[in-house]
Amino acid sequence: MAVKEVLLYPDPRLKEVCAPIDNFDDSVSELLQDLVDTMIDAGHSVGVAAPQIGDIRRAVVVDVSHSKLGKKQKNHGLLQMVNPEIIEKKGDQVVREGCMSVPDYTGNVNRAEQIVIQFLDQNGDLQVKRAEGFEAIAIQHELDHLDGYLFLDRVSSLKTDLFRRKQK
């Protein structure tokens, strides 16, 4: 469909809680394709959530298979998720995260090591997937966007766990 502009913090739309998608119509397919196109166009992104492109519905895409960390681990490839929900978490780890909506910073965030997620796929079919490692981290990060959270909200200490990105 189209590459969309990614909203940047502190845009207030990034802090909104997204609405569930009740009707699986053409607009949902278009939204998912816009998310995929936007993620691919960024070149370095492993996921994007609907509110990052100004759409306040519960949809995200994640694909870690082309990233350095994702290639080293088993993953599901491209996941297009509508109304995703984590139904199980296991383990605990601190990881460094970045975000297209917060381009100048990265931060240390606490995430589950393994998750089980249920969602509707691009065809409207219910899926349940187990994810671990980098894929689990990316999914948790994108789902946070649906509830109005940025990784900045998950950083324990802005003084010790937030880092300015090196400029290229």
Task: Provide the annotated active-site residues.
Answer: 142
Token duo for residue 44: 């370095």
Would you call 12 helix, strand, or coil by DSSP? helix
| Whole-angstrom distance, CA of residue 143 vs CA of residue 131 | 14
> DSSP class of residue 150?
-
Specify the DSSP class assigned to residue 54: T
Which string of b and e fits 64-73 if b means at least 16 CB within 10 Å? bbebeebeee
